[in-house]
């Protein structure tokens, strides 16, 4: 009997000395209300003549921090905002790195592009002409926003818990190509990608979902997340205690249809939430590690900038936004000695092992990019998001650039860019993505 007891004790000691296998995933979740304290100017529509008058529902920044069994980490942050700037995103990344050890490259920030959100300093700056007091409100909000984005990522990184990840897709059909106002025959992607985050027992904790459509059902004077905000609210009502996060896809040339009223925004939100619910109810693909994150920028060339003489000759011509652009470019020449001839476009890739590849593209990216990437990476399950890390201009495909129009170059004046881009930008972006995924 004594030998048996000693033998059992020895086995227990051996068991305690053998390290347990690390869980595939840990995930932290956090959220922060980013609704402005003041009723400041709303973003998105240059025609607005007054600031916000109220709040339909809060605007949110929500964060997921992922950690695999090897200690690799990545953060995905979603925001109910028109867009972020490179300066703001990089500042957030630098500050988070000091607190958490995550690098800037490991942090993806996406904007839902709701046009019922506050002006973000530096995003489409020439669309607005503020009084000093209005500009101060915008500047003050930018500081508060940066602090809240930093804190929400740090909070998520401190709340890591064992988790299971799985992926599925469904469809929503309210997006329509908007080239030429409404273009029912134009390209569009109705896919709704869904990333499910569950605890080890399988209980839903958070859900990240997307759609490739401008978040522009509404143009009224209240803070509101538009259809994406209503979809998140619908899901969080259906699944109490769960955090729902929306990530905008390559929706630069798609609009919700029909649009124009709060009721329609709520309708589209319910439609999108229903697609997510169907995806969650279907068999999903488990995601395994390792987690791999890459981030790189490539210069996209603009057409030759105008000379000082050409700009002086253009002064006072065109609409008010063209005049602002002329004066802005003259100021650049005076202060910097030249007008920028390119923009450093960002590509970010998050690989969840071999099971899912998330590709995050900067700017207002048109749907052709998602369509082409799905064709060229048909052997992978990919999720392509636009509006990542910054909204600096529309990013047309070669087709849209050739056709011209608003997304092809007409909107550049609102962003302070003489534009349009030179041909070749699509292949340059696609080559960089291929390069990142071969490393």
DSSP per-residue string spanning 110-122: EE---SSSBPPTT
Q: Closest Cα partner for 51 from 137, 164, 121?
A: 137
Q: Are 108 and 149 in contact (CB under 8 A)?
A: no
Q: Are 259 and 143 in contact (CB under 8 A)?
A: no
Residue 159 CB partners (closer than 8 Å, separation 6+):
28, 29, 30, 65
Q: Are strands 222-223 and 54-55 parallel, antiparallel or unpaired?
A: parallel
Q: Are 321 and 126 in contact (CB under 8 A)?
A: yes
Phi-psi region of 417 (alpha: psi -120 to 50; beta: other; left: phi over 0): beta
Q: Are 385 and 363 in contact (CB under 8 A)?
A: no
87 phi/psi in degrees, rounded to 5:
-60, -45
Domain residue limits, the chain? 25-286
* Residue 355: Cβ-neighbour burial (10 angstroms; 0-12, 13-18, 19+): middle
Q: Token match 């009721």: residue?
A: 263
In eight-state DSSP terms, residue 415 is: G
In eight-state DSSP terms, residue 306 is: P
Nearest 5 degrees, angle CA 196-CA 249-CA 172? 70
Q: Are 361 and 384 in contact (CB under 8 A)?
A: yes
3-state secondary structure of 319: coil
How far apart are the C-alpha atoms of 389 and 387, rounded to whole Å? 7
How far apart are the C-alpha atoms of 335 and 184, rounded to whole Å? 46
Q: Are strands 107-111 and 73-79 parallel, antiparallel or unpaired?
A: parallel
Per-residue pLDDT of the chain in tens (439 residues, 90 and over written 9)? 444 444 444 444 334 433 333 458 999 999 999 999 999 999 988 778 899 999 999 999 999 999 999 999 999 999 999 999 999 999 999 999 999 999 999 999 999 999 999 999 999 999 999 999 999 999 999 999 999 999 999 999 999 999 999 999 999 999 999 998 788 889 999 999 999 999 999 999 999 999 999 999 999 999 999 999 999 999 999 999 999 999 999 999 999 999 999 999 999 999 999 999 999 999 999 999 999 999 999 999 999 999 999 999 999 999 999 999 999 999 999 999 999 999 999 999 999 999 999 999 999 999 999 999 999 999 999 999 999 999 999 999 999 999 999 999 999 999 999 989 999 999 999 999 999 999 8
> Tokens for 337?
């000695």
> Tokens for 107?
């942090």
Q: Are 248 and 112 in contact (CB under 8 A)?
A: yes
How far apart are the C-alpha atoms of 379 and 66, rounded to whole Å? 24
Residue 312 CB coordination number (10 Å): 11
> Tokens for 215?
């978040």
How far apart are the C-alpha atoms of 216 and 219, rounded to whole Å? 7
* Residue 340: Cβ-neighbour burial (10 angstroms; 0-12, 13-18, 19+): middle
* Residue 240: Cβ-neighbour burial (10 angstroms; 0-12, 13-18, 19+): exposed
> Tokens for 225?
């997340």
pLDDT at position 1, please?
43
């Amino acid at each position: 009997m004594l030998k048996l007891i000693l033998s059992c004790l020895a086995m227990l000691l051996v068991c305690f000395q053998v390290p347990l296998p690390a869980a595939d995933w840990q995930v932290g979740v956090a959220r922060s209300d980013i609704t402005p304290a003041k009723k400041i100017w709303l973003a998105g529509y240059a025609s607005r003549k007054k600031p916000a008058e109220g709040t339909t529902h809060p605007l949110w920044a929500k964060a997921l921090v992922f950690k695999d069994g090897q200690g690799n980490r990545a953060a995905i942050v979603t925001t109910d905002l028109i867009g972020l700037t490179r300066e703001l995103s990089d500042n957030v990344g630098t500050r988070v790195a000091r607190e958490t050890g995550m690098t800037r490259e490991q942090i993806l920030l996406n904007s839902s592009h709701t046009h019922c959100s506050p002006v973000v300093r530096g995003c489409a700056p020439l669309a607005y002409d503020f009084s000093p007091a209005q500009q101060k409100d915008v500047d003050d909000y930018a500081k508060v926003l940066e602090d809240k984005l930093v804190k929400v990522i740090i909070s998520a990184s401190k709340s890591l818990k064992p988790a299971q990840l799985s992926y599925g897709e469904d469809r929503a059909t309210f997006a329509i190509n908007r080239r030429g106002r409404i273009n029912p025959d134009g390209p569009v992607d109705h896919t709704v990608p869904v990333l499910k985050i569950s605890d080890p027992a399988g209980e839903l904790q958070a859900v990240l979902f997307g759609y490739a459509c401008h978040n522009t059902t509404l143009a009224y004077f209240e803070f509101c997340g538009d259809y994406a905000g209503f979809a998140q609210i619908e899901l969080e009502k259906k699944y109490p205690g769960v955090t729902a996060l929306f990530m905008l896809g390559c929706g630069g040339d798609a609009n919700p249809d029909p649009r124009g009223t709060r009721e329609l925004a709520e309708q589209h939100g319910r439609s999108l939430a229903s697609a997510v619910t169907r995806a969650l109810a279907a068999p999903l693909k488990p995601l395994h590690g390792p987690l791999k994150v890459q981030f790189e920028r490539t210069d996209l060339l603009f057409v030759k900038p105008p000379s000082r003489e050409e700009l002086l000759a253009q002064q006072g011509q065109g609409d008010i936004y063209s005049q602002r652009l002329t004066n802005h470019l003259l100021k650049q020449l005076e202060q910097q000695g030249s007008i920028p001839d390119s923009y450093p476009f960002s590509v970010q890739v998050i690989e969840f092992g071999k099971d899912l590849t998330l590709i995050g593209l900067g700017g207002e990216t048109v749907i052709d990019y998602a369509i082409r990437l799905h064709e060229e990476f048909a052997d992978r399950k990919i999720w392509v998001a636009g509006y990542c890390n910054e909204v600096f201009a529309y990013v047309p495909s070669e087709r849209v650039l050739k056709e011209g129009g608003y997304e092809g170059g007409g909107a550049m004046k609102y962003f302070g860019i003489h534009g349009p881009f030179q041909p070749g930008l699509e292949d340059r972006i696609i080559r960089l993505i291929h390069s990142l995924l071969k490393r």
